A and B are shown apart, each in its own frame.
Chain A
Amino acid sequence: MLRKLAFTGIKSRLRDYLVLFTGLVISSAVFYMFEALATNPQFLKNSTNGMSAASFIFQFGSVLLTIISLVYIFYANSFLLSMRQHDYGIFMMLGAKPTKIGRLILTETLVIGALSSVIGVVVGCLLTASLGSYLMQSILQTNVANFHAVHVPAILVTLVLYLVLFVIAGFINRRKLIKTPVLGLLKGDSQPNRAKLKPVSQFIQVVLGIGLLAVGYYVMKHFIDFQLASIPLALVTIVFGSYLLFNAVFVWLVVLLKKTKWAQRGINNFTLSQLDFRIRNYTKILATVSILFALALGAITVGMGFGKETDLFTQGSSGYTMALEDPSAAVKKQVNKLDTEKKVSYSEKQSKDTVYYVKEEFDRIPLQDVSDNWMKKMSKGKKAKISYQSFDGQKLQKNPGSLYYLQKNGSDKTVKIISQSEFAKIQAPRQQLYLFRVKNIEKSKKSLDKIVKTAYPKNYETIRSTIPGGYAGYLNGLEVFGGFEFMGFFLGIAFLAMLASCLMFKILSGANSDKHRYEMLNKLGVRKNTLRRSISREIMTLYALPGVLGIVHVLFGLQLFKTLLISPYQGIWLPFVIFIVLYLLYYLVTVKLYESIVLPAVEIDK
């Protein structure tokens, strides 16, 4: 009988369950996708040097993802409980035994958990097959032909982790339900948890909060002095700092705003009171979200920073895209088809241990190399157009360094620049060093690949990444930095999705007890638009506060990467924009869902 009642309860709130369910499915799907990519042997074997570092990062990411999944399930679960507690309260009032109710909620949580994890893994397989391989192809440019979307260890890890989390969640729900008095269940959180102004303690909290944040930021800025201790130190200080700041400043702000004229207009006072009503319940999640937000945004920013680094790496690594020795007519024809900036060939002769070049040829067309000035400017974070410096024959005679970089890989011959007449005397076949530079390596990638294939058909695979010039640098950069970029992107989006859902579930959990307030306002004659505006302002505040603090965290957090990245702050707006757009989407969805729960339906039906 009770079972049947419980089922009717679910049916009547099908839409809310659907939201919850979708959130859980997405969470487990993302987790699976990450695990499948991170632990797929094909993927790890396929890649060379860069990936061993990446596989460490993948593991690190996997730990972070587990932690955030835990937080996420916790919030999703409290949303579930908030939907059910009224029904269960009524059952208990009617005399149902607490143990029986406990068993019901445990079963319910487990069934939802198991179903959503299984569906999540299936969705995850599909996602990995489509989105995952697309991401790998477009960012990592690796060959994914032998990559499997269905990866048994990843399936097991995901299922086991999620089931364990749900068992824990189920027991937490059961405990909460049995321990809460029936009246508490029936009334939900309508018990006010009103903020009171305690100036002294609040002042101390603000000072302490800012102090802790300052310590955290300082540690990140002086990362080198603190070494490995800096990360846990920064995390702890920033977490507590954020919490204290929210606790004190938020309350203060609301109380101050309530005293203004603005508060007396329309239902502004109500909006403020809504915010201040459950303020204590929100400070914890707001602090958490601001940290997660920072982690997510940081991951994307750093990831994209690494991605950008690929370009710098490529542009800055050499004056030419490729150096070819004695290219055939067919190869030259292909080069001519490219969008080149520079094309030049120099005569050379090789003895056993020396390569000779003609001085006059360099006087006529000087050799180019990346200018030191440019490198300096870049590392200061200034955006500068790449510039080159020229080497004529005399300069090269003094310092042939730039020519060394253009020698065939593995060659340990000395380079000598000699006059035309001396060159003629050398007893060796006359050869050609053929150099060219394309305008954009990334755009010409396919054609460049084909050139290597035509020039060295036998050992193309190995030569490809060792051939002198910027192209090989680009390929190596892709592996290392592309891996980081991919990770950053993936983790960032996954974090954002989960943290925004946490906030969403927290807000929606409250919606059920807010419902009657909006009904009252409707009866008092508040226009629908006014109600809508109040709702969107309230939720906007709850989203904006952790977002702003999170952005500040990231701006300081990037100091950590100053040693790893040439210019961590350059082009920072792009990941920020991507992130804010996604975050806004979540905000809009939350507003819509909240409205659909609390706004009274228009009952006209003539």
Chain B
Amino acid sequence: MNNQAIVSARDIRKIYGHKGEKQYEALKGITFDVKAGEFVGIMGASGSGKTTLLNILTTLDQPTQGTVEINGQDITSLKGNAVADFRAKEIGFIFQDFNLLENLTNSENIALPLSLQNVAAAEIKPQIEKLAKQLSITGILDKYPNEISGGQKQRVAAARALVSQPAILFGDEPTGALDSSSTTDLLEMLNEVNQQQNVPILMVTHDPLSASYCQRILFIQDGKIGQELKRGGQTRKQFYKQIIDDLGAFQGQEAD
């Protein structure tokens, strides 16, 4: 595994509110890297700035200060169409509420990122079939999103995020709306994608079980990175325990 950074965030600050209005500093200088092939988790109390950070990393929002490079490209200086194209080509997204378009079939949903890059229909089809097989959603491709379960929806969303072979996959609580068995399924699948295709994943989560699939966890506290936890050689079970312990200590410390 090489050690090249796919994401490198430097001293990111985010202040909400215009000058002269009431302002709120949600991020107070965040610096970290995500290396090729890493599976990184971000945890933190509600309101600590996780979504804010993810929005900045995915070009949905701009930092007030600091730089973000993804795959060697400074994304904070991108403008207009370049932002949209970057989003379409370089990153994949999985959201808590799936964000599937309910007026397209599942396979049309998955095809969308490729259609956007004007890939020929003949080329799109085999790619979808391959992904569908991998994510076991072949049987539901021609259905509409409102005809399938939450767990299935999230796999479709994952397929859509992966189809354009992004440099990195982002998730904002992707398991937040799933029951425990669907959660495990999805995480196993993400893990597989991460291991076999070497796609780095950065995922925000509240859930220690989800977090235990990561190799490294960043805890955000009050807009800063408070602590970092590494799985190292531990099994997933051991790591899970460590997260729970740490979370307890972390939250206890916060409560003081």
Q: Is A199 an interface residue (CB 8 A)?
A: no
Count B interface residues, CB 8 Å: 36
Q: Is A364 an interface residue (CB 8 A)?
A: no
In the bound complex, what is the Cα–Cα distance between A522 and B80 (angstroms)?
12
Write out the residue numbers on chain B whose beta carbons fall within 8 Å of the beta carbon of A276: 103
- Cβ-defined partner of B87 (8 Å) among A192, A524, A530: A524
- Cβ-defined partner of A192 (8 Å) among B18, B103, B124: B103
Q: Is B136 an interface residue (CB 8 A)?
A: no
Residue in chain A with minimal CB distance to B89 = A525
B73-105 residues with Cβ-Cβ distance < 8 A to A are: 80-81, 84-89, 91, 93, 95, 99-104
Q: Is A402 an interface residue (CB 8 A)?
A: no
- Mark the stretch among A267-275, A549-557, A587-595 that contacts chain B: A267-275
Interface string of B95-139 (1 = CB under 8 A from A): 100011111100010011101101011001000000000000000
In the bound complex, what is the Cα–Cα distance between A529 and B83 (angstroms)?
12
Assess A523 versus B61: contact at CB under 8 Å? Given A266-B118, A270-B104: no
Interface string of A243-278 (1 = CB under 8 A from B): 000000000000000000100111111100110110
Q: Is B250 an interface residue (CB 8 A)?
A: no
Contact between B121 and A524 (Cβ–Cβ < 8 Å)? Answer: no
- Mark the stretch among A213-221, A416-424, A598-606 that contacts chain B: A598-606
Q: Is A156 an interface residue (CB 8 A)?
A: no
With both chains docked as a complex, state the minimum distance between the C-beta of B57 and any C-beta of chain A, in angstroms: 13
Residue in chain A with minimal CB distance to B164 = A525
Contact between A267 and B84 (Cβ–Cβ < 8 Å)? Answer: no
With both chains docked as a complex, state the minimum distance between the C-beta of B99 and any C-beta of chain A, in angstroms: 5
Write out the residue numbers on chain B whose beta carbons fall within 8 Å of the beta carbon of A528: 80-81, 84
Write out the residue numbers on chain B whose beta carbons fall within 8 Å of the beta carbon of A521: 101
Residue in chain A with minimal CB distance to B88 = A525
Write out the residue numbers on chain B whose beta carbons fall within 8 Å of the beta carbon of A194: 103, 144
Contact between A261 and B121 (Cβ–Cβ < 8 Å)? Answer: yes
In the bound complex, what is the Cα–Cα distance between A277 and B108 (angstroms)?
14
Write out the residue numbers on chain B whose beta carbons fall within 8 Å of the beta carbon of A603: 60-62
Residue in chain A with minimal CB distance to B63 = A606
Interface string of B37-68 (1 = CB under 8 A from A): 00000000000000000000010111010000
In the bound complex, what is the Cα–Cα distance between A340 and B160 (angstroms)?
79
- Cβ-defined partner of B84 (8 Å) among A191, A265, A527, A606: A527
Residue in chain B with minimal CB distance to A273 = B103
Contact between A527 and B81 (Cβ–Cβ < 8 Å)? Answer: yes
Assess A520 versus B144: contact at CB under 8 Å? Given A266-B118, A525-B87, A528-B84: no
Q: Is A526 an interface residue (CB 8 A)?
A: yes
B interface residues with partner A (beta carbon < 8 Å): 18, 58, 60-62, 64, 80-81, 84-89, 91, 93, 95, 99-104, 108, 111-113, 115-116, 118, 120-121, 124, 144, 146, 160
- Offer 23 A-B interface pairs, CB within 8 angstroms, sorted by A: A190-B102, A191-B146, A192-B103, A194-B144, A264-B115, A264-B121, A266-B115, A267-B116, A273-B101, A273-B104, A520-B101, A521-B101, A523-B95, A523-B99, A524-B113, A525-B86, A525-B113, A526-B88, A528-B80, A529-B81, A603-B60, A605-B62, A606-B62
